[in-house]
Amino acid sequence: MPRTLSAPVTVAFDYTRSTGPVIGRFLTGLRDGVVVGARTSEGRVVIPPPEYDPVTHQPTTDFVEVSSSGSVTSWVWVPEPVAGQPFDRPFAWALVTLDGADVPFLHALDVSSADEVSTGMRVQVRWAAERAGAITDIACFEPADDGAGAIVPFPGDDVVSGVVTPVELDYVYAASPEESAFYRGLAEGRLLGQRCPTCHKVYIPPRSACPTDGSPTTDEVELPETGTVTTFCIVNVPFLGQKITPPYVSAYVLLDGADIAFLHLILDIPAEEVHMGLRVKAVWKPREEWGTTIENISHFAPTGEPDADYDTYKNQL
């Protein structure tokens, strides 16, 4: 049996949010080289400041500037950092209670070995050389010396009102044997699905088992490159990483002979003219660009045939 396929996958986007008056004040302080906490109704100073008092549930209003030096409350050693962490060398995560605060604050501690870390050790903030109003304005903590971490003045007095946080997930996708056959077929310019031997439904991309009756889909079926648009969406909003200028259409295409539609682009037609029942065909990229991916098909384009009758796709909406 051919080896199943696998590939690394990265899902990433930039998450943008408004900070509000409380977190905005904290981030503005970091940008300006000041650590700002909030005093709760119980008299405890918390960093970062909570937006609402944990006891009274009232909005936080009593802000306090605390020291940029403090003591390690607890810590853990990171011998093998992963992507996205503050350092590409071993370091410690530490809970640091800053002088003037009552609740510890989590951040990276830059030391060369675990032997240099101890609960109760004095540390100080190392400020980033360039700051923009983010938690990374604190580059890390470092063992304390005679003074606080050096601060590079920031010109300007505007309040930080929004932050952009990159979000990324890396994983390895392992295809099933049926999916592997589908992707190998794409590398040959073929569209391969699987048929359920019980209900005779054809699935593409294939499933290992029929979702209708649970039977293994053991029968391979080669499908044509033509199909019908069932449902669709006109994309009008630009976003980071977009490869096509809006407006364009993303649609579910029901290939002839299939019992499930799959998502792809509809091009070579004005977006406003795309409609349910439109007959389309696959447009392949040049063969030298093919791999084991659905992107071998650049898009689907109108065939010029009359629209499909609604009854032929009404059960696949």
Residue 124 pLDDT exceeds 90: yes
Express each pLDDT in 183-241 by its tens digit: 999 999 999 999 999 999 999 999 999 999 999 998 899 999 999 999 999 999 988 77
**pLDDT above 90 for 166:** no
Mean of the pLDDT values across residues 148-174? 75
DSSP secondary structure, the chain, as one string: -PPPPEEEEEEEEEEEEE-HHHHHHHHHHHHTT-EEEEE-TTS-EESSPPSB-TTT-PBP--EEEE-SEEEEEEEEEESS--TTSS-SS-EEEEEEEETT-SS-EEEEE--SSGGG--TT-EEEEEE-SS--SSGGGEEEEEE--SSPPP-------PPP-EEEEEEEEEEEEE--HHHHHHHHHHHTT-EEEEE-TTT--EESS--SB-TTT--B--EEEEE-SEEEEEEEEEE-S--TT--SPSSEEEEEEEETT-SS-EEEEE-SS-GGG--TT-EEEEEEPPGGG--SSGGGEEEEEE-SPPPPPGGGTGGG-
pLDDT tens readout for residues 85-106: 999 999 999 999 999 999 999 9
Q: Tens of pLDDT along 272-304?
A: 999 999 999 999 999 999 999 999 999 999 999
Q: What is the pLDDT of residue 156?
A: 54
Reply yes or no on whether the pLDDT at 80 is more than 90. yes
Residues 258-277 have a mean pLDDT of: 96
Does position 119 have pLDDT exceeding 80, yes or no? yes
Angle at 61 between CA 23 and CA 42, to 5 degrees: 105
Looking at every residue in the chain, the average pLDDT score rounds to 92
Q: Is the pTM of this model over 0.75?
A: no
For 155-164, 252-261, 293-302, 307-316, which range has the lowest pLDDT when averaged over its residues?
A: 155-164
